[in-house]
Structure 1
Amino acid sequence: MRKWFILAFVAVAALWAGVRANWSAHDGGAPPSNDGWCGIEGRIRSSVDGQPLRNVHLTLRRGTGPRAQRIEATADSGGRFRFERLVPGDYRLAARRSGYLTATYGAGTLPQERALIHLGAGENIGDIEIRLVPAARIRGSVVDENGRPVPRARVLLTNAAGSPGTIDGARMIRADVRGSFLAGVLPPGEYRLMALSARGLVPQAGRGESEAAGRYRWSRSRAAIVPAEEVVMKLAAGEEVVGVKLLLREPAPVKALQLAAWGGAGAPFPAAFLR
């Protein structure tokens, strides 16, 4: 009996040593003592009516890069969540649910303005609250002057609050074969929509820029249909607008131009470049 007891003790000691080694490799240090564990708890609510939201997926991150520690949880029927047995440090908390905009705790107007949750040894924070904003949606179709759908047309969606002539925060949406389109997961605000042919107006992006950072330019391919109008609408949180019609019209005929370059003596240049 004593022999078996010794063997069991050795096995438990070896297992604990392995657990400590795995913790050190993952977290960069040994686990704190029992009285040093930390915790975070709180509740998720709707930004519209303040009601608790269930089945919200939460992601807690500590650190950055490939070695960042990531822990996940789900809010219960009362919108409550809890993270237990956390090591001291700085954490970022994000929440997401279908039909709502993803929210980061303490997020400001800029992406980098996200509040860190600092936990000291043995500290427990229990007053975290995140309010999720219901996403808005726009449903509509692209038609020509005869009311016929324009298959696979593009819809340029921009934030109406952006600078004139730019497409800040733009999104390009492709209509289906029936000309129907859906712009979903939109925050509340005012938007501009413009339908484009598959070979028409495209964003002008310079080197190192995204398409949403530039201005408009025409593609090299000749556009079969040109944009006819711009629709502006204001969306509230969670609002869905349906039946939006975006019109494309055929371009007016363009007459051919014959150009030539002439020198100072009145003689033409046979191989001149015109820009």
Structure 2
Amino acid sequence: MLKIAVCDDEQIVCAEIEKIILDFQKESGIHLEVEVFYSGSDLYKFIVNEYAFDLIFLDIEMQDLNGIQLGNRIRNELENYITNIVYISSKDNYDRQLFEVQPMHFLPKPVEKEKIIADIKLALKILGKRNDVFSYKIGHSVHKIPIKDILYFESLDREIKLVSTKGNVCFYSTIEAVLTQVSSYQFIQIHRSYIINYAFVSKFRYEEVIMRNGEHLLISQRRRKDVRDLLISYEKEEESCN
């Protein structure tokens, strides 16, 4: 099941998007749960008091709490980096403001049915990935952590430090063994000591990445081209799903 929110102060836009979602649910047989909101503050209160959504179609130009302000609250105040946000707007001059929220997509108005459906399919694909886990051993015990919760791995001599949204843990392994286990996900080895989760990157710079927890990690000189190529690959993969 995919939990979807539609938020726009234009009721006709909400009705249009909701119909596209419900028609797709009927045609595909996929269970989609939809909630509609006509203000950013109502959506925010719902998320705080009820539950978070997997996907939000969010208008930018709203009166009380606009889409960019709400997106920043979701990411920074609620520390929710998982919900996929698709911004919708009749304007297209928000690139710099949207960067910090890292939306999954931007859709111009009037919205197109095919693009709404493509974003739903991409969100379903991402949700499926979130159910996967990374396994590691401490002593004789095997531990598991959802892939979606991992920020990065750091090699410390004979140990690996795993940094996640739940805290940090160290276990005996090698960076090569870790890379093998996460190679089918969007992880990037930026240095002989670091493997990062693309989903938790706030900014990429020429010599470093800034993670969502504020940490700066060095990109080694010999890996800069590989990192750039992987970034292009991941961006094209996301675009192809849209």
Q: What is the TM-score of this pair, normalised by structure 1?
A: 0.27
Higher strand share: 1
The one of the two structures with greater contact order (alpha-carbon pairs below 8 A, sep at least 6) is: 1
Q: What is the TM-score of this pair, normalised by structure 2?
A: 0.29
Higher helix share: 2
State the structure with more CA Rg: 1
